[in-house]
Structure 1
């Protein structure tokens, strides 16, 4: 998993090159679609959220991420459906892509070459953008799966993601890998420091923009899959109307971890879980959202809730996203290793799929 984190820059370069060589430019020949519906689940589906976040509110058409088995009823021939599955065999994604083909929608598929998804896209006379995951798990192939959608967004004029922007993103990820590498010690390694601050806590991760919100969701998902640690994710201003009230709850109490009990045996009675507020701050925020983020930080600290503020780096929207995602990916892996957890296996997901398969038979 650490190797996958370190290879993020290489993933960006390889995925961009593969998408162009696969003929992604041909998608624009039929003009801009009425909407783009990006479909996927799990480690593959996060690519749909990346597309929506990077396209942003100024996008000339609606970009809708779908993490489900059902295609919205209004989707038809004027719309483009993009199905993403690293393996090319994900049930939910296949069902939605096949339904899109029946409705006559334009189709683009992103996933393993020669897969069922690729075949479904070809039957729909769509364009398939092959992904070579190199044996990595879907969540470890974040950029291999997301970059084809970003190149597609540039081709269709949904967002400005030129080659130089992706190269700058790859360079930023290379630099982050050096700063967060295993040889960098605690105190000089931002990912290790973040990991240690999250140990024994229930992180509440809130983003201050669409891009930061997508990174917050990614971080919460990575903490669950890599470190097997639950986390809550959200985005401001919405989180300020509901999730913020948890700062007044029992997990935020100054006595929640038993710190006031001098006679507690730390081995017989380990500390209770406590909240930790994690604010992902974008360098481009709506002024009112920025004010809310400042206020949330003050409210958390005023209630004795430990708070971490992570600030995006980079000049472009993709770079800013990468700086937050890359740090969270490394931190979730280090937290797993620090707590004796193997970050790769996902037995609960494997069992869930097996049970569904048994039910289907």
Structure 2
């Protein structure tokens, strides 16, 4: 991959080559509204549902649903990571199947098994899809999706779970507004001097990214952002707990002011850069971890940058952190001349 060139981030001809990926990022809020508009009637129809014995979620973002529901869900909740279902699942349980693409063989098998066991099923999938077909039963509710966006689908599912009195309130409109705010601030038409995502991409240009979020939702956003950074850069971007990141930071040698990147090679100056995802969590363990990480970085001259989202509801803050990180990864890829930023 080529060396990072920040002039590419404001070059309209270069940006035009990445228009599809940037447009998909910018249209996240529109997809949220579209999915909500198409699914709201069926979601409101779930308000009178009986409470299940337990909830089992499978598919993309099942762990995000768990992160949101765990503090308040009145029944046991399981994010099932494997094909099939736990042996105890039966007619008293609710199986959530998140299949925004609609053709995953593992989810098709899980849908068949849930139907065979008589479990109640709520599924997000295209109305005409293999997984919707195999999940069909008298106890199945299909929440139709049309955009293929897992983030939009999971927000709609969380709204449905609130109607079923299993989760907290979810304002899809405010979450979509949060995504739009990030898209406006990080637009490719906002130049580097005023664009927070382009600025952070430049900070990561020659760095080994470390990503940390203190709250459960910020940590989940961090894992997604790190995955995007790995994809566009080919570097081992790491998202982990503060304890694990501390070990990486403390093993870093202090910066050598006399190092010559031309003589020592392009990898010689690739030092860690810590990106903190701050959603305003003020719990004592989070504030202590932030202070410890910053102190350790200062001691060995490791740069720290912060992505902040301190307003609105928890899920809106999550989406703001996630989208800012995704725009940053996209601009890092553009600066490095990546073939794709999807």
TM-score category by the smaller chain? 0.7 to 0.9
Q: CA deviation at 1:180?
A: 0.5
Please report the TM-score for the alignment, with normalisation by the length of structure 1. 0.81
Please report the TM-score for the alignment, with normalisation by the length of structure 2. 0.85
Matching residue within 88, 109, 131 for 2:102? 88
Q: Is the 8 A contact 1:227 1:336 kept in 2?
A: yes
Distance in 1, matches of 2:46 and 2:235, equals 40
Over residues 47-84 of structure 1, what are the superposed CA-to-partner deviations in whole Å (9 max), with x where a residue is unaligned?
Answer: x2332233242332333323332423333332211111
Q: Is the 8 A contact 1:36 1:61 kept in 2?
A: yes
Partner of 1:357: none
Q: Is the 8 A contact 2:90 2:117 kept in 1?
A: yes
Q: How does 1:131-150 map onto structure 2 within 5 Å?
A: 131-133=145-147, 141-150=149-158
1:154 corresponds to 2:162: yes
1:279 corresponds to 2:279: no
Distance in 1, matches of 2:222 and 2:138, equals 35
The 1:95/1:295 distance shift into structure 2, 3 A limit, reads same
**2:192 aligned counterpart, secondary structure:** coil
Q: Is the 8 A contact 1:228 1:336 kept in 2?
A: no
Structure with the bigger RCO (C-alpha within 8 Å, sep 6+) is 2
Distance in 1, matches of 2:214 and 2:223, equals 12
1:63 corresponds to 2:65: no
**1:283 aligned counterpart, secondary structure:** coil
Count of residues in Structure 1 that have an aligned counterpart in Structure 2: 321
Partner of 2:315: 318
Q: Is the 8 A contact 1:121 1:127 kept in 2?
A: no
1:189 corresponds to 2:195: yes
CA RMSD between the two structures: 2.3
Distance in 2, matches of 1:297 and 1:99, equals 49
Distance in 2, matches of 1:199 and 1:155, equals 45
Partner of 1:121: 135
Partner of 1:254: 254
Partner of 2:11: none
Q: CA deviation at 1:184?
A: 0.7
Over residues 189-208 of structure 1, what are the superposed CA-to-partner deviations in whole Å (9 max), with x where a residue is unaligned?
Answer: 01111222222322221111
Of residues 8-17 and 67-76 in structure 1, the stretch that sits farther from structure 2 once superposed is 67-76
Partner of 1:222: 228
Q: CA deviation at 1:227?
A: 4.5
Distance in 1, matches of 2:172 and 2:190, equals 26
Matching residue within 240, 257, 265 for 1:269? 265
Gaps of 5+ in 1: 346-361
Partner of 2:184: 178
Q: CA deviation at 1:96?
A: 2.3
Partner of 1:309: 306
Gaps of 5+ in 2: 1-20
Q: CA deviation at 1:339?
A: 0.7
